[in-house]
Each structure stands twice: as structure tokens, then as C-alpha cells.
Amino acid sequence: MQFGRVESELDLSAIDFALPPDHPATAKVLAKRKKQHRVFVGCAKWGRPDWVGKIYPPKTKQADFLQHYAGHFNCIELNATFYRMPTKSQIKTWKSKVGDGFKFCPKFVDQITHIKRLKETRELVDRFFEAIYEFKENLGPLFLMPHPQMGPKSFDVQQAFIESLPKDIELFVEQRHKDWYANTEAFDTLFNMMEQNQVGSVITDASARRDCVHMRLSTSQAFIRFVGNGLHPTDYTRIDDWVARMKSWKEKGIKHIYFFYAPARRTAFARIMQIPDR
């Protein structure tokens, strides 16, 4: 994932990576729930040839990558569905490679979000859902990323799209247009709408877009996209900060946490895999 990346390590020294305090609304959302939580940890892809012989067994074939990935992680940010409309047969094949507790988190196909920009998408949405429903118990939250040019002026379009979706799915939305974060009124209006519709907010921890680390949960679940910097020392302290924040959310009553690390580096594997247990 290139979003929010900086060009060189020299640029990292000037960035304040400290996580902001929770938004006041987050405490109110979490206070409504006091039950056992679960943490899901994964990456943005399972096709990692450099893991063969290190994390995956020696001579692992590409067709078996997902099976071995699911032996280490319990979810995947499924970007493949963004680049091409999934088919039922493809979904069934992926599902056959994982166990019952594994969750696929499909990203809406770009035909819906970037080409149509959420308008006149009924046929595409129906095709998308017909396919992803084949995940059955392995279907995790859906990931909606509106086009980065869709700012506060697109609020009505986004609201109409969100409210048109089936109610039996979990949905998280990532906003990339800077005006959502620069305009407090627009931010509050958006998140109030999401909370009313039980739609989660994606938090993206990226070096060059600290505004996306907004720390406002609109449901009792969190969806975190962590963009690393090639195992720069700050990557480790940032992950540790997230572990502390997740512990705090657990104590406050969070339900599920989905934590995705990108780009997936083999040498960061041990640190990432500690997250559920810390």
C-alpha cells in the first residue's frame, strides 16, 4: 500500500508518530458494550514468494500460499476484490484454503468506488454481494474506500450508498480526502451518520497522512491499517503503541479489532504475531 508513504527515511525523523488520544465519541461507543473481545491480525496479501522457506515451508507452490498464510494469520485485507469483480467459483476456492475462524475482509471493487463513484451501482453491487456471500462464515467486514477525490460535498452520495447496502454485513469505510479531517463539522456529520448506521471507521496509520489517525470509533469494532516503513525503528515503537491502545480498548469493552500490516515484511513477522497476546 503506497497511500501515506514518505519518500525517504530522512523524512521520518520530522514526523510525530504518537497516537492521538481517543476521540471523545469513542469512549461513548465503547461504553455501550462489555463483552469478550477478539483480535484479528493480517496483511494485505498472502502471495509472498520471499516467505517461502522462512515462514512458508520450502518449495511451497504459489497455489498453496493462502493455506499456509492462514496457518499464521486469522484474517486478510482482500485487495484482490478491488482490482477485479470476484466470482463465486473464485471465492469458493479461497474459502476452501482456510479454517472456520479465518476472516476475509473484501474491499469493494473499483468499478463501484472509483469508476462509478458510488452512483448507479445497483447491478455491480448485486454481483459483488452474490460472490462474496460464498465466503459464508469466513466473511469478515467489508472495506469501502470511496474515491480519494470524494470529499464532504459527496456526503449525500455516500450516505445513500451506505444506507442502500444489505444490513446483514459489517462495513468499514476509509476516507482519504483531506477535507473530511480538516473540517470539524463535516467530520462530525459523517461520523454521526456512520454511527447511526452501525458502520465502522477505518483508521489508517500512515507516515504522511497523520490526519487519518483520527481515533474515532463509530462502532464497537476497530479496523486499523498500519503502513510500515521498511522496518525503520519507528515501526516497532508504533506497533507497541498500538498494542497499548488495543489493550485500553479491550478494557473499555471493544468487540473486535482488525489490524492489518502493510507492506508485509518477513522480518516483522514475530512482532506482528505478538499482537493478539499482548
Quick check: pTM over 0.85? yes
* Amino acid letter, 159: Q
In a domain, 2, yes or no: no
- The pLDDT assigned to 232 comes to 82
Please give the C-alpha separations between residue 50 and each of 19, 27, 77, 195, in angstroms, as whole numbers: 31, 41, 19, 41
In a domain, 105, yes or no: yes
Window from 9-23, 57-71, 111-125, 199-213 with minimum mean pLDDT: 9-23
* 189 burial level (CB within 10 Å; 0-12, 13-18, 19+): middle
In CATH, what number is assigned to the domain containing residue 125? 3.20.20.410
Q: What tens digit of pLDDT does each residue of 152-209 get?
A: 999 999 999 999 999 999 999 999 999 999 999 999 999 999 999 999 999 999 998 9
Highest mean pLDDT among 54-68, 107-121, 233-247: 107-121
In a domain, 220, yes or no: yes
In a domain, 4, yes or no: no
Between 28 and 149, the more confident residue is 149
Q: Are 126 and 165 in contact (CB under 8 A)?
A: no
Distance CA 146, CA 237 (A): 30
In a domain, 69, yes or no: yes
User: Whole domain around residue 222: which residue ranges?
Assistant: 9-277
| Residue carrying the nine cell digits 454485513 | 169
In a domain, 144, yes or no: yes
CB atoms within 10 A of CB 179: 13
Report how many domains make up the chain: 1
* 90 burial level (CB within 10 Å; 0-12, 13-18, 19+): middle
- In percent, how much of the chain has pLDDT > 70? 88
In a domain, 257, yes or no: yes
